[in-house]
């Protein structure tokens, strides 16, 4: 049972344009969400997070939007740069649960930004 889903395995964007990566979840107990960036043969790097009390969090070129009713979140990267090319994972957990910090990851989306 895939509780966190990234339905787009890949996304190709032109440099300077907006990249929108999507993520859906099914577990209504999740109340904290994170986006990670990962290069091949490396561990994930934290990008940005959002708690369920917010619907938007912004950090530089990265903005995460959360739609709780739709159980959907998205990561916007504006403007996209070639260095953003990587695999992006969304992850979720229940901050109030006994297994605090146990992350459930989506399958990842490969983002390619073309010069």
The structure tokens listed for 64 are: 């995460």
> Distance between CA 42 and CA 7 in Å, rounded?
23
Residues 38 and 45: beta-carbon distance below 8 Å: yes
Of residues 43-102, those binding another protein (CB under 8 A)? 43-46, 49, 89, 95, 99-102
Q: Is 42 in the site for another protein (CB under 8 A)?
A: yes
Q: Which of 4, 21, 92, 113 binds another protein (CB under 8 A)?
A: 4
Closest to another protein by CB, 2 vs 12, is 2
Gap between the Cα atoms of 34 and 115, Å rounded: 27
Q: Which residues bind another protein (CB under 8 A)?
A: 2, 4, 9, 34, 36, 41-46, 49, 89, 95, 99-108
């Amino acid at each position: 049972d895939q509780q966190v889903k990234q339905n787009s395995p890949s996304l190709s964007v032109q440099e300077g344009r907006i990249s929108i990566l999507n993520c859906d979840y099914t577990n209504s107990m999740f109340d904290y969400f994170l986006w990670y960036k990962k290069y091949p043969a490396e561990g994930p790097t934290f990008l940005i997070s959002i708690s369920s009390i917010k619907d938007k969090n912004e950090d530089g070129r990265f903005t995460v939007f959360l739609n709780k009713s739709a159980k959907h979140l998205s990561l916007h990267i504006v403007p996209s740069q070639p260095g953003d090319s990587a695999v992006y994972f969304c992850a979720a957990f229940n901050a109030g649960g006994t297994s605090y910090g146990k992350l459930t990851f989506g399958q990842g989306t490969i983002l390619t930004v073309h010069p």
